[in-house]
Chain A
Amino acid sequence: MKKPKTPELNRRQFLMNGAVAVTALTAVGLGANYLKKLNVENSKSLLRPPGAVNEDEFIYACIKCGLCVQICPVNAIKLATIKDGLSYGTPYIDPRAQACDFSCDALQCIETCPTSALDFIPFKTAGEEAFIAYNKANPNIGKDYNPIAIQSKAMKANTTMGLAVINLDTCFAAKGKGFKGSPREDGFDGVYRSPNPKRKERKASLVNDHAFNRDICDLCVTECPIGETAIIMENNGNIMTPKVLDACTGCGVCVMVCPSSEDTIVIDKLKTV
Protein backbone atom coordinates (compact mmCIF):
# COMPACT_ATOMS: atom_id res chain seq x y z
CA MET A 1 0.00 0.00 0.00
CA LYS A 2 1.46 3.31 -1.06
CA LYS A 3 0.72 6.43 0.87
CA PRO A 4 0.23 9.63 -1.10
CA LYS A 5 3.37 11.74 -1.18
CA THR A 6 2.09 14.97 0.33
CA PRO A 7 -0.39 15.78 3.10
CA GLU A 8 -2.56 17.61 0.56
CA LEU A 9 -2.88 14.54 -1.64
CA ASN A 10 -3.46 12.44 1.46
CA ARG A 11 -6.31 14.67 2.56
CA ARG A 12 -7.78 14.62 -0.92
CA GLN A 13 -7.67 10.82 -0.98
CA PHE A 14 -9.33 10.73 2.44
CA LEU A 15 -12.13 13.00 1.31
CA MET A 16 -12.74 11.05 -1.89
CA ASN A 17 -12.67 7.65 -0.21
CA GLY A 18 -14.67 9.04 2.69
CA ALA A 19 -17.41 10.23 0.34
CA VAL A 20 -17.70 6.70 -1.05
CA ALA A 21 -17.77 5.31 2.49
CA VAL A 22 -20.56 7.68 3.54
CA THR A 23 -22.55 6.75 0.42
CA ALA A 24 -22.10 3.05 1.18
CA LEU A 25 -23.17 3.58 4.80
CA THR A 26 -26.26 5.49 3.72
CA ALA A 27 -27.17 2.71 1.30
CA VAL A 28 -26.73 0.09 4.02
CA GLY A 29 -28.78 2.17 6.43
CA LEU A 30 -31.63 2.68 3.97
CA GLY A 31 -31.55 -1.00 3.09
CA ALA A 32 -31.70 -1.97 6.74
CA ASN A 33 -34.57 0.41 7.36
CA TYR A 34 -36.48 -1.06 4.41
CA LEU A 35 -35.84 -4.59 5.69
CA LYS A 36 -37.04 -3.51 9.12
CA LYS A 37 -40.41 -2.53 7.69
CA LEU A 38 -40.67 -5.89 5.95
CA ASN A 39 -39.55 -7.56 9.13
CA VAL A 40 -42.53 -6.41 11.15
CA GLU A 41 -44.71 -8.73 9.04
CA ASN A 42 -42.09 -11.46 8.80
CA SER A 43 -41.26 -11.82 12.45
CA LYS A 44 -44.88 -12.33 13.48
CA SER A 45 -44.47 -15.93 12.42
CA LEU A 46 -41.43 -16.41 14.66
CA LEU A 47 -42.30 -17.73 18.09
CA ARG A 48 -39.73 -16.15 20.40
CA PRO A 49 -38.32 -17.88 23.51
CA PRO A 50 -39.98 -17.14 26.87
CA GLY A 51 -39.61 -13.63 28.20
CA ALA A 52 -38.96 -12.04 24.82
CA VAL A 53 -39.60 -8.31 24.68
CA ASN A 54 -41.75 -6.79 21.93
CA GLU A 55 -40.68 -7.52 18.38
CA ASP A 56 -39.62 -3.95 17.59
CA GLU A 57 -37.43 -3.95 20.69
CA PHE A 58 -36.26 -7.49 20.19
CA ILE A 59 -34.72 -6.66 16.82
CA TYR A 60 -32.12 -4.43 18.44
CA ALA A 61 -31.96 -5.99 21.88
CA CYS A 62 -30.82 -9.36 20.54
CA ILE A 63 -27.12 -9.40 19.69
CA LYS A 64 -27.37 -12.86 18.13
CA CYS A 65 -24.89 -14.52 20.44
CA GLY A 66 -26.93 -17.70 20.79
CA LEU A 67 -26.37 -18.18 24.52
CA CYS A 68 -30.07 -19.08 24.93
CA VAL A 69 -29.70 -21.73 22.22
CA GLN A 70 -26.80 -23.28 24.08
CA ILE A 71 -28.38 -23.30 27.52
CA CYS A 72 -31.72 -24.86 26.53
CA PRO A 73 -31.76 -28.44 27.89
CA VAL A 74 -34.24 -29.70 25.28
CA ASN A 75 -32.75 -27.77 22.33
CA ALA A 76 -36.04 -26.04 21.63
CA ILE A 77 -34.46 -22.74 20.62
CA LYS A 78 -33.00 -22.34 17.15
CA LEU A 79 -31.48 -19.43 15.29
CA ALA A 80 -33.44 -17.93 12.40
CA THR A 81 -31.91 -18.16 8.95
CA ILE A 82 -31.57 -15.60 6.17
CA LYS A 83 -35.12 -16.50 5.06
CA ASP A 84 -36.37 -14.40 7.94
CA GLY A 85 -34.60 -11.32 6.64
CA LEU A 86 -33.42 -8.95 9.32
CA SER A 87 -34.28 -11.50 12.01
CA TYR A 88 -31.34 -13.58 10.82
CA GLY A 89 -29.50 -15.09 13.77
CA THR A 90 -32.20 -14.31 16.33
CA PRO A 91 -33.67 -17.15 18.41
CA TYR A 92 -37.05 -18.72 17.76
CA ILE A 93 -38.93 -21.87 18.73
CA ASP A 94 -40.57 -24.26 16.31
CA PRO A 95 -43.03 -25.90 18.73
CA ARG A 96 -44.09 -28.64 16.31
CA ALA A 97 -40.49 -29.89 16.14
CA GLN A 98 -39.56 -29.24 19.78
CA ALA A 99 -41.60 -27.18 22.18
CA CYS A 100 -40.40 -25.32 25.24
CA ASP A 101 -41.56 -27.74 27.95
CA PHE A 102 -40.29 -25.79 30.99
CA SER A 103 -38.21 -28.77 32.02
CA CYS A 104 -35.34 -26.50 33.05
CA ASP A 105 -37.66 -25.17 35.79
CA ALA A 106 -35.72 -21.95 36.07
CA LEU A 107 -36.18 -20.31 32.67
CA GLN A 108 -32.45 -20.48 32.03
CA CYS A 109 -32.66 -18.89 28.59
CA ILE A 110 -34.01 -15.71 30.18
CA GLU A 111 -31.42 -15.69 32.91
CA THR A 112 -28.58 -16.22 30.46
CA CYS A 113 -29.52 -13.41 28.06
CA PRO A 114 -26.97 -10.60 28.60
CA THR A 115 -28.96 -7.87 26.83
CA SER A 116 -32.41 -8.55 28.28
CA ALA A 117 -33.85 -9.39 24.88
CA LEU A 118 -35.35 -12.09 27.07
CA ASP A 119 -36.25 -9.97 30.05
CA PHE A 120 -35.78 -11.58 33.45
CA ILE A 121 -37.15 -8.82 35.68
CA PRO A 122 -40.90 -9.69 35.43
CA PHE A 123 -40.14 -13.32 36.28
CA LYS A 124 -37.98 -12.40 39.19
CA THR A 125 -40.73 -10.16 40.55
CA ALA A 126 -43.40 -12.81 40.04
CA GLY A 127 -41.24 -15.41 41.76
CA GLU A 128 -40.49 -13.16 44.71
CA GLU A 129 -44.13 -12.25 45.17
CA ALA A 130 -45.14 -15.90 45.14
CA PHE A 131 -42.38 -16.65 47.65
CA ILE A 132 -43.56 -13.94 50.02
CA ALA A 133 -47.19 -14.99 49.65
CA TYR A 134 -46.32 -18.60 50.36
CA ASN A 135 -44.31 -17.66 53.44
CA LYS A 136 -47.25 -15.66 54.75
CA ALA A 137 -49.62 -18.56 54.19
CA ASN A 138 -47.23 -21.08 55.77
CA PRO A 139 -45.63 -19.39 58.78
CA ASN A 140 -44.55 -22.71 60.32
CA ILE A 141 -41.73 -24.42 58.50
CA GLY A 142 -42.79 -28.02 58.41
CA LYS A 143 -42.26 -31.02 56.22
CA ASP A 144 -44.39 -29.67 53.40
CA TYR A 145 -42.58 -26.34 53.27
CA ASN A 146 -41.45 -26.00 49.67
CA PRO A 147 -41.47 -22.44 48.36
CA ILE A 148 -39.12 -23.25 45.48
CA ALA A 149 -41.78 -25.15 43.57
CA ILE A 150 -44.29 -22.35 44.18
CA GLN A 151 -41.76 -19.77 43.02
CA SER A 152 -40.90 -21.77 39.94
CA LYS A 153 -44.57 -22.26 39.11
CA ALA A 154 -45.29 -18.56 39.45
CA MET A 155 -42.38 -17.76 37.15
CA LYS A 156 -43.56 -20.22 34.55
CA ALA A 157 -47.09 -18.88 34.72
CA ASN A 158 -45.74 -15.38 34.08
CA THR A 159 -44.47 -16.40 30.64
CA THR A 160 -46.39 -14.99 27.70
CA MET A 161 -44.94 -16.32 24.50
CA GLY A 162 -48.28 -16.44 22.78
CA LEU A 163 -51.57 -18.24 22.89
CA ALA A 164 -52.52 -21.66 21.56
CA VAL A 165 -55.26 -21.47 18.95
CA ILE A 166 -57.11 -24.70 18.22
CA ASN A 167 -58.54 -25.39 14.80
CA LEU A 168 -61.63 -27.50 15.49
CA ASP A 169 -61.93 -28.57 11.83
CA THR A 170 -59.07 -31.04 12.16
CA CYS A 171 -59.21 -31.67 15.91
CA PHE A 172 -59.82 -35.33 16.79
CA ALA A 173 -61.96 -34.46 19.80
CA ALA A 174 -64.26 -32.24 17.77
CA LYS A 175 -64.96 -35.19 15.50
CA GLY A 176 -65.58 -37.38 18.53
CA LYS A 177 -62.55 -39.51 17.71
CA GLY A 178 -60.33 -41.19 20.24
CA PHE A 179 -56.64 -41.89 20.04
CA LYS A 180 -54.38 -44.87 20.61
CA GLY A 181 -50.60 -45.31 20.56
CA SER A 182 -47.74 -42.82 20.21
CA PRO A 183 -48.79 -39.32 19.29
CA ARG A 184 -46.24 -38.56 16.57
CA GLU A 185 -44.88 -40.15 13.42
CA ASP A 186 -42.03 -42.67 13.68
CA GLY A 187 -38.57 -41.25 14.22
CA PHE A 188 -39.83 -38.02 15.81
CA ASP A 189 -37.23 -36.97 18.39
CA GLY A 190 -39.00 -34.22 20.32
CA VAL A 191 -38.85 -34.53 24.11
CA TYR A 192 -41.00 -33.18 26.91
CA ARG A 193 -41.57 -33.70 30.61
CA SER A 194 -44.86 -35.38 31.17
CA PRO A 195 -46.96 -33.63 33.83
CA ASN A 196 -48.73 -36.89 34.60
CA PRO A 197 -48.20 -37.34 38.38
CA LYS A 198 -48.34 -41.13 38.11
CA ARG A 199 -45.09 -41.14 36.23
CA LYS A 200 -42.26 -41.33 38.73
CA GLU A 201 -39.64 -40.11 36.33
CA ARG A 202 -39.73 -36.32 36.24
CA LYS A 203 -37.10 -35.96 33.56
CA ALA A 204 -37.84 -35.08 29.98
CA SER A 205 -38.54 -38.11 27.81
CA LEU A 206 -39.30 -38.73 24.15
CA VAL A 207 -42.82 -37.87 23.10
CA ASN A 208 -43.10 -41.15 21.26
CA ASP A 209 -42.09 -43.16 24.35
CA HIS A 210 -45.48 -42.37 25.80
CA ALA A 211 -48.39 -44.53 24.67
CA PHE A 212 -51.89 -43.22 25.15
CA ASN A 213 -55.29 -44.79 24.97
CA ARG A 214 -58.13 -42.29 24.99
CA ASP A 215 -61.76 -42.68 24.03
CA ILE A 216 -61.91 -38.99 23.21
CA CYS A 217 -58.55 -37.46 22.35
CA ASP A 218 -57.53 -34.93 25.01
CA LEU A 219 -53.74 -35.01 24.85
CA CYS A 220 -53.39 -31.23 24.66
CA VAL A 221 -55.28 -30.96 27.94
CA THR A 222 -53.60 -33.72 29.92
CA GLU A 223 -50.04 -33.00 28.76
CA CYS A 224 -50.14 -29.23 29.34
CA PRO A 225 -47.34 -28.23 31.75
CA ILE A 226 -49.42 -25.38 33.19
CA GLY A 227 -52.52 -27.45 33.89
CA GLU A 228 -56.21 -26.78 34.10
CA THR A 229 -55.89 -23.03 34.28
CA ALA A 230 -54.50 -23.00 30.77
CA ILE A 231 -56.55 -25.50 28.82
CA ILE A 232 -59.65 -27.58 29.63
CA MET A 233 -62.10 -29.92 27.91
CA GLU A 234 -65.33 -28.05 27.51
CA ASN A 235 -68.76 -29.26 26.59
CA ASN A 236 -69.37 -27.78 23.18
CA GLY A 237 -72.89 -28.74 22.17
CA ASN A 238 -72.97 -32.49 22.56
CA ILE A 239 -69.22 -33.13 22.23
CA MET A 240 -66.19 -32.33 24.39
CA THR A 241 -63.64 -29.99 22.79
CA PRO A 242 -60.48 -28.43 24.20
CA LYS A 243 -60.66 -24.77 25.13
CA VAL A 244 -57.68 -22.45 25.77
CA LEU A 245 -57.89 -20.21 28.82
CA ASP A 246 -55.98 -17.07 29.72
CA ALA A 247 -53.24 -18.81 31.71
CA CYS A 248 -51.89 -20.34 28.49
CA THR A 249 -48.26 -19.34 28.09
CA GLY A 250 -47.84 -20.41 24.48
CA CYS A 251 -45.11 -22.90 25.32
CA GLY A 252 -46.28 -25.16 22.52
CA VAL A 253 -46.26 -28.56 24.21
CA CYS A 254 -49.83 -29.12 22.96
CA VAL A 255 -48.65 -28.30 19.43
CA MET A 256 -45.91 -30.90 19.75
CA VAL A 257 -48.01 -33.72 21.19
CA CYS A 258 -51.05 -33.22 18.99
CA PRO A 259 -51.58 -36.46 17.05
CA SER A 260 -53.66 -34.70 14.43
CA SER A 261 -52.20 -32.65 11.57
CA GLU A 262 -49.63 -29.89 11.82
CA ASP A 263 -51.98 -26.92 11.79
CA THR A 264 -54.52 -28.22 14.30
CA ILE A 265 -52.94 -26.16 17.07
CA VAL A 266 -50.81 -23.11 16.35
CA ILE A 267 -49.30 -20.58 18.71
CA ASP A 268 -50.50 -17.08 17.97
CA LYS A 269 -47.97 -14.56 19.25
CA LEU A 270 -50.22 -11.56 19.32
CA LYS A 271 -53.51 -12.96 20.51
CA THR A 272 -54.62 -12.64 24.10
CA VAL A 273 -57.74 -14.03 25.71
Chain B
Amino acid sequence: MKFKKLEPIPAKRREEMPNSKLGITFKEWKAKKPNKNKWRNKRWAVLLFFNFLFWTSFAFHIGILEGSFSGSRFIGIYLMDPYNAMQEMLIANRTGYYAMLTTNFFIGFFVILMFYFLLGGRTFCSWLCPYHFLAENAEKLHNYLVKKKKIKEHSYNIGIKYIFWVGFLLLAFFTKILVFETINPVGIISRAIIYGPGLLLLWVVALLLFEIVYSKRFWCRYVCPIGVTYSALKKVSPVSVKFDLDKCGHCKDCQDVCLVPHELWFVKRGEATKEVHFTGADCTNCGLCVDICYGDALSLTIKGFDKIT
Protein backbone atom coordinates (compact mmCIF):
# COMPACT_ATOMS: atom_id res chain seq x y z
CA MET B 1 0.00 0.00 0.00
CA LYS B 2 1.34 3.39 -0.82
CA PHE B 3 0.55 6.47 1.12
CA LYS B 4 1.84 9.60 -0.51
CA LYS B 5 2.62 11.95 2.30
CA LEU B 6 5.60 13.63 0.69
CA GLU B 7 5.57 15.45 -2.57
CA PRO B 8 7.41 13.57 -5.32
CA ILE B 9 10.87 14.80 -6.23
CA PRO B 10 10.70 16.52 -9.63
CA ALA B 11 11.82 14.21 -12.44
CA LYS B 12 15.30 14.75 -13.80
CA ARG B 13 16.07 15.27 -17.43
CA ARG B 14 17.39 12.30 -19.33
CA GLU B 15 20.91 13.75 -19.55
CA GLU B 16 21.12 13.85 -15.77
CA MET B 17 20.24 10.17 -15.40
CA PRO B 18 23.46 8.13 -15.72
CA ASN B 19 21.69 4.82 -16.12
CA SER B 20 18.98 5.67 -18.60
CA LYS B 21 18.27 3.00 -21.16
CA LEU B 22 17.63 5.60 -23.82
CA GLY B 23 20.36 6.58 -26.23
CA ILE B 24 22.52 3.44 -25.95
CA THR B 25 22.45 0.19 -27.89
CA PHE B 26 21.28 -3.11 -26.44
CA LYS B 27 24.84 -4.47 -26.54
CA GLU B 28 26.28 -1.62 -24.50
CA TRP B 29 23.36 -1.96 -22.16
CA LYS B 30 23.93 -5.68 -21.68
CA ALA B 31 27.68 -5.24 -21.09
CA LYS B 32 26.95 -3.18 -18.00
CA LYS B 33 25.78 -6.21 -16.04
CA PRO B 34 27.70 -9.39 -16.82
CA ASN B 35 26.43 -11.64 -14.00
CA LYS B 36 22.69 -11.43 -14.37
CA ASN B 37 21.59 -14.25 -12.07
CA LYS B 38 23.78 -13.71 -9.03
CA TRP B 39 21.07 -13.47 -6.36
CA ARG B 40 18.78 -15.93 -8.07
CA ASN B 41 21.48 -18.59 -8.10
CA LYS B 42 22.31 -18.03 -4.46
CA ARG B 43 18.66 -18.13 -3.55
CA TRP B 44 17.90 -21.29 -5.47
CA ALA B 45 20.92 -22.95 -3.89
CA VAL B 46 19.66 -22.10 -0.40
CA LEU B 47 16.10 -23.15 -1.23
CA LEU B 48 17.08 -26.49 -2.71
CA PHE B 49 19.62 -27.12 0.03
CA PHE B 50 17.11 -26.77 2.86
CA ASN B 51 14.41 -28.75 1.08
CA PHE B 52 17.00 -31.43 0.40
CA LEU B 53 18.16 -31.26 4.03
CA PHE B 54 14.61 -32.02 5.20
CA TRP B 55 14.65 -35.08 3.00
CA THR B 56 18.15 -36.31 3.93
CA SER B 57 17.48 -35.77 7.64
CA PHE B 58 14.65 -38.26 7.48
CA ALA B 59 15.94 -40.63 4.80
CA PHE B 60 19.35 -41.12 6.42
CA HIS B 61 18.37 -40.36 10.04
CA ILE B 62 20.77 -37.46 10.34
CA GLY B 63 18.35 -35.45 12.44
CA ILE B 64 19.61 -31.97 11.60
CA LEU B 65 16.36 -30.60 10.22
CA GLU B 66 13.45 -32.83 11.22
CA GLY B 67 9.76 -32.41 10.49
CA SER B 68 8.37 -30.46 7.58
CA PHE B 69 7.55 -26.85 6.78
CA SER B 70 4.48 -26.87 8.99
CA GLY B 71 6.59 -27.64 12.05
CA SER B 72 10.18 -28.70 12.40
CA ARG B 73 13.16 -29.02 14.65
CA PHE B 74 16.50 -27.58 13.57
CA ILE B 75 19.38 -29.07 15.63
CA GLY B 76 17.01 -29.48 18.54
CA ILE B 77 15.34 -26.07 18.30
CA TYR B 78 11.64 -26.20 17.49
CA LEU B 79 10.30 -24.06 14.65
CA MET B 80 6.60 -23.58 13.96
CA ASP B 81 4.82 -22.26 10.93
CA PRO B 82 3.41 -19.04 12.49
CA TYR B 83 0.11 -19.15 10.62
CA ASN B 84 -0.48 -22.74 11.71
CA ALA B 85 0.46 -21.77 15.24
CA MET B 86 -1.99 -18.87 15.21
CA GLN B 87 -4.83 -21.08 13.99
CA GLU B 88 -3.92 -23.62 16.64
CA MET B 89 -3.99 -21.00 19.40
CA LEU B 90 -7.34 -19.67 18.20
CA ILE B 91 -8.92 -23.12 18.26
CA ALA B 92 -7.21 -23.96 21.53
CA ASN B 93 -8.58 -20.82 23.13
CA ARG B 94 -12.08 -21.77 22.10
CA THR B 95 -12.00 -25.42 23.12
CA GLY B 96 -10.02 -25.19 26.32
CA TYR B 97 -7.24 -27.22 24.77
CA TYR B 98 -4.91 -24.29 25.39
CA ALA B 99 -3.32 -25.69 28.53
CA MET B 100 -2.11 -28.67 26.58
CA LEU B 101 0.00 -26.72 24.08
CA THR B 102 3.60 -27.53 24.88
CA THR B 103 6.48 -25.27 25.75
CA ASN B 104 8.11 -26.39 22.55
CA PHE B 105 5.15 -25.01 20.64
CA PHE B 106 5.66 -21.53 22.04
CA ILE B 107 9.44 -21.74 21.69
CA GLY B 108 8.96 -22.68 18.04
CA PHE B 109 6.48 -19.88 17.46
CA PHE B 110 8.62 -17.13 18.98
CA VAL B 111 11.89 -18.41 17.55
CA ILE B 112 10.48 -18.32 14.05
CA LEU B 113 9.04 -14.83 14.56
CA MET B 114 12.41 -13.62 15.84
CA PHE B 115 14.24 -15.40 13.04
CA TYR B 116 12.20 -13.90 10.23
CA PHE B 117 12.16 -10.51 11.87
CA LEU B 118 15.95 -10.54 11.61
CA LEU B 119 15.95 -12.01 8.12
CA GLY B 120 13.31 -9.83 6.51
CA GLY B 121 9.87 -11.41 6.88
CA ARG B 122 8.81 -12.76 3.53
CA THR B 123 12.37 -13.88 2.93
CA PHE B 124 10.85 -17.26 3.76
CA CYS B 125 8.82 -17.16 0.55
CA SER B 126 11.60 -16.74 -1.95
CA TRP B 127 14.49 -18.34 -0.07
CA LEU B 128 12.81 -21.45 1.39
CA CYS B 129 9.28 -22.06 0.16
CA PRO B 130 9.20 -25.03 -2.24
CA TYR B 131 6.01 -23.76 -3.89
CA HIS B 132 7.70 -20.46 -4.71
CA PHE B 133 10.37 -22.35 -6.61
CA LEU B 134 7.81 -24.18 -8.76
CA ALA B 135 5.69 -21.06 -9.26
CA GLU B 136 8.71 -18.99 -10.18
CA ASN B 137 9.49 -21.36 -13.01
CA ALA B 138 5.85 -21.65 -14.02
CA GLU B 139 5.82 -17.86 -14.23
CA LYS B 140 8.44 -17.98 -16.98
CA LEU B 141 6.18 -20.22 -19.03
CA HIS B 142 3.29 -17.88 -18.33
CA ASN B 143 5.29 -14.85 -19.44
CA TYR B 144 6.27 -16.66 -22.64
CA LEU B 145 2.63 -17.50 -23.42
CA VAL B 146 1.57 -13.92 -22.75
CA LYS B 147 4.34 -12.63 -24.98
CA LYS B 148 3.23 -14.95 -27.81
CA LYS B 149 -0.33 -13.66 -27.30
CA LYS B 150 -1.64 -17.18 -26.61
CA ILE B 151 -3.27 -16.09 -23.38
CA LYS B 152 -4.33 -12.90 -21.64
CA GLU B 153 -3.04 -11.65 -18.32
CA HIS B 154 -5.60 -11.48 -15.49
CA SER B 155 -4.88 -9.50 -12.39
CA TYR B 156 -6.78 -8.85 -9.18
CA ASN B 157 -6.61 -6.51 -6.26
CA ILE B 158 -3.55 -7.19 -4.17
CA GLY B 159 -5.54 -6.47 -1.00
CA ILE B 160 -7.66 -9.61 -1.16
CA LYS B 161 -4.91 -11.62 0.49
CA TYR B 162 -5.82 -9.92 3.76
CA ILE B 163 -9.37 -11.19 3.32
CA PHE B 164 -7.97 -14.69 2.90
CA TRP B 165 -5.72 -14.23 5.92
CA VAL B 166 -8.61 -13.26 8.20
CA GLY B 167 -10.92 -15.73 6.46
CA PHE B 168 -8.79 -18.80 7.02
CA LEU B 169 -8.30 -17.84 10.68
CA LEU B 170 -12.06 -17.50 11.08
CA LEU B 171 -12.63 -20.81 9.30
CA ALA B 172 -10.23 -22.52 11.69
CA PHE B 173 -12.01 -20.90 14.62
CA PHE B 174 -15.52 -21.88 13.57
CA THR B 175 -14.99 -25.31 12.01
CA LYS B 176 -12.32 -26.42 14.49
CA ILE B 177 -10.19 -27.84 11.70
CA LEU B 178 -6.91 -26.49 10.34
CA VAL B 179 -8.67 -25.78 7.04
CA PHE B 180 -5.76 -23.96 5.51
CA GLU B 181 -3.24 -26.69 6.24
CA THR B 182 -5.30 -29.21 4.24
CA ILE B 183 -5.04 -27.11 1.08
CA ASN B 184 -1.68 -25.49 1.77
CA PRO B 185 0.61 -26.28 -1.19
CA VAL B 186 3.71 -25.49 0.89
CA GLY B 187 2.90 -28.24 3.37
CA ILE B 188 1.76 -30.63 0.66
CA ILE B 189 4.96 -30.28 -1.38
CA SER B 190 7.10 -30.35 1.74
CA ARG B 191 5.49 -33.60 2.91
CA ALA B 192 5.72 -35.03 -0.60
CA ILE B 193 9.45 -34.36 -0.65
CA ILE B 194 10.07 -35.84 2.80
CA TYR B 195 7.56 -38.68 3.16
CA GLY B 196 6.92 -39.56 -0.48
CA PRO B 197 4.46 -38.15 -3.01
CA GLY B 198 0.70 -38.52 -2.69
CA LEU B 199 -2.38 -37.83 -4.76
CA LEU B 200 -2.88 -34.41 -3.20
CA LEU B 201 0.00 -33.19 -5.37
CA LEU B 202 -2.63 -32.96 -8.11
CA TRP B 203 -4.01 -29.93 -6.28
CA VAL B 204 -0.59 -28.29 -6.52
CA VAL B 205 -0.41 -29.16 -10.21
CA ALA B 206 -3.86 -27.63 -10.73
CA LEU B 207 -2.76 -24.46 -8.96
CA LEU B 208 0.35 -24.23 -11.11
CA LEU B 209 -1.67 -24.79 -14.28
CA PHE B 210 -4.05 -22.03 -13.24
CA GLU B 211 -1.10 -19.74 -12.71
CA ILE B 212 0.35 -20.62 -16.09
CA VAL B 213 -2.76 -20.20 -18.21
CA TYR B 214 -4.75 -17.60 -16.31
CA SER B 215 -3.26 -15.41 -13.64
CA LYS B 216 0.42 -14.85 -12.90
CA ARG B 217 1.57 -16.01 -9.43
CA PHE B 218 -2.03 -16.22 -8.26
CA TRP B 219 -1.42 -18.11 -5.00
CA CYS B 220 1.61 -16.14 -3.80
CA ARG B 221 0.19 -12.75 -4.72
CA TYR B 222 -3.45 -12.96 -3.78
CA VAL B 223 -4.03 -15.89 -1.41
CA CYS B 224 -1.19 -17.29 0.67
CA PRO B 225 -1.75 -16.28 4.32
CA ILE B 226 1.66 -17.57 5.35
CA GLY B 227 3.18 -14.84 3.21
CA VAL B 228 0.87 -12.27 4.78
CA THR B 229 1.96 -13.36 8.26
CA TYR B 230 5.59 -12.96 7.34
CA SER B 231 4.91 -9.65 5.57
CA ALA B 232 3.91 -8.19 8.94
CA LEU B 233 7.43 -8.98 10.12
CA LYS B 234 8.88 -7.52 6.92
CA LYS B 235 7.24 -4.20 7.82
CA VAL B 236 9.56 -3.82 10.82
CA SER B 237 12.49 -5.94 9.66
CA PRO B 238 15.87 -4.35 8.92
CA VAL B 239 16.52 -6.46 5.82
CA SER B 240 15.17 -4.85 2.70
CA VAL B 241 15.79 -3.85 -0.91
CA LYS B 242 17.21 -0.34 -1.08
CA PHE B 243 16.54 2.04 -3.94
CA ASP B 244 18.84 4.91 -4.94
CA LEU B 245 17.07 7.51 -7.03
CA ASP B 246 20.41 8.87 -8.27
CA LYS B 247 21.32 5.68 -10.11
CA CYS B 248 17.89 4.86 -11.50
CA GLY B 249 17.21 5.07 -15.22
CA HIS B 250 13.45 4.51 -14.80
CA CYS B 251 13.36 1.60 -17.26
CA LYS B 252 11.01 -0.35 -14.94
CA ASP B 253 12.61 -3.66 -15.87
CA CYS B 254 12.57 -4.47 -12.16
CA GLN B 255 8.78 -4.22 -12.02
CA ASP B 256 8.51 -6.73 -14.85
CA VAL B 257 10.38 -9.46 -12.96
CA CYS B 258 8.97 -8.66 -9.51
CA LEU B 259 6.45 -10.88 -7.73
CA VAL B 260 4.91 -7.82 -6.09
CA PRO B 261 5.53 -4.89 -8.50
CA HIS B 262 3.49 -2.45 -6.43
CA GLU B 263 6.29 -2.52 -3.86
CA LEU B 264 8.57 -0.94 -6.48
CA TRP B 265 6.20 1.97 -7.13
CA PHE B 266 9.04 4.46 -6.69
CA VAL B 267 10.90 3.42 -9.84
CA LYS B 268 8.41 5.20 -12.08
CA ARG B 269 9.78 8.50 -13.31
CA GLY B 270 8.62 11.36 -11.15
CA GLU B 271 7.06 9.17 -8.41
CA ALA B 272 9.85 8.84 -5.86
CA THR B 273 9.45 11.11 -2.88
CA LYS B 274 12.87 10.52 -1.30
CA GLU B 275 16.41 9.99 -2.58
CA VAL B 276 16.47 6.56 -0.90
CA HIS B 277 13.51 4.19 -0.66
CA PHE B 278 13.10 0.76 0.92
CA THR B 279 10.64 -1.83 -0.32
CA GLY B 280 7.57 -2.46 1.80
CA ALA B 281 5.86 -5.36 3.52
CA ASP B 282 5.12 -7.56 0.52
CA CYS B 283 8.71 -7.66 -0.77
CA THR B 284 10.22 -11.15 -0.52
CA ASN B 285 13.88 -10.03 -0.79
CA CYS B 286 14.25 -12.42 -3.71
CA GLY B 287 16.80 -10.19 -5.44
CA LEU B 288 15.39 -10.55 -8.95
CA CYS B 289 15.11 -6.77 -9.24
CA VAL B 290 18.66 -6.39 -7.91
CA ASP B 291 19.86 -8.81 -10.56
CA ILE B 292 18.09 -7.09 -13.42
CA CYS B 293 18.92 -3.51 -12.46
CA TYR B 294 21.65 -2.37 -14.82
CA GLY B 295 22.46 0.76 -12.92
CA ASP B 296 22.79 -0.86 -9.47
CA ALA B 297 20.05 1.42 -8.22
CA LEU B 298 18.57 -1.50 -6.28
CA SER B 299 20.50 -3.47 -3.68
CA LEU B 300 19.75 -5.90 -0.84
CA THR B 301 20.63 -4.17 2.40
CA ILE B 302 20.34 -4.22 6.13
CA LYS B 303 18.94 -0.84 7.05
CA GLY B 304 21.56 1.27 8.76
CA PHE B 305 24.43 -0.80 7.39
CA ASP B 306 26.03 -1.02 3.99
CA LYS B 307 24.63 -3.37 1.42
CA ILE B 308 25.02 -7.11 1.72
CA THR B 309 27.42 -8.21 -0.97
What is the interface of chain A, defined by CB distance below 8 A to chain B?
1-3, 10, 13-14, 16-18, 20-22, 25, 28-29, 32-33, 36, 53, 56-57, 59-61, 63-67, 69-71, 79, 81-82, 86, 88-89, 112-116, 119-121
Contact = CB atoms under 8 A, between A and B. Distances in A.
A64 B159 CA distance: 29
Given A18-B159, A33-B175, A114-B108, A88 B182 contact: yes
B178 A63 contact: yes
B167 A66 contact: no
A116 B175 contact: no
Interface stretch (B21-29, B96-104, B137-145, B229-237): B96-104
A84 to B, nearest CB: 11
A32 B184 CA distance: 13
B175 A36 contact: yes
6 contacts: A1-B158, A1-B261, A61-B100, A65-B72, A66-B195, A119-B100
Nearest to B103: A114
B268 to A, nearest CB: 11
A106 to B, nearest CB: 16
Interface stretch (B62-70, B116-124, B242-250, B294-302): B62-70
Contacts of A29: 171, 174-175, 179
Contacts of A113: 102
B167 to A, nearest CB: 4
A70 B177 contact: no
Interface of B: 57-58, 63, 66-68, 70-73, 78, 80-81, 84, 88, 91, 95, 97, 100-102, 104-105, 108, 153, 155-160, 163-164, 167-168, 171-172, 174-179, 181-183, 187, 191, 194-195, 198-200, 216, 221-222, 261-262
Given A13-B157, A14-B157, A71-B66, A114 B71 contact: yes
A245 B84 CA distance: 40
A70 B163 contact: no
B67 A65 contact: yes
B97 A18 contact: no
Contacts of B179: 28-29, 32
B88 A63 contact: yes
A193 B265 CA distance: 65
B89 to A, nearest CB: 10
A115 B88 contact: yes
Contacts of B102: 113-116, 120
Given A36-B175, A70-B67, A79 B157 contact: no
7 closest Cβ pairs, A-B complex: A65-B71, A25-B167, A116-B100, A14-B157, A1-B155, A65-B67, A29-B171
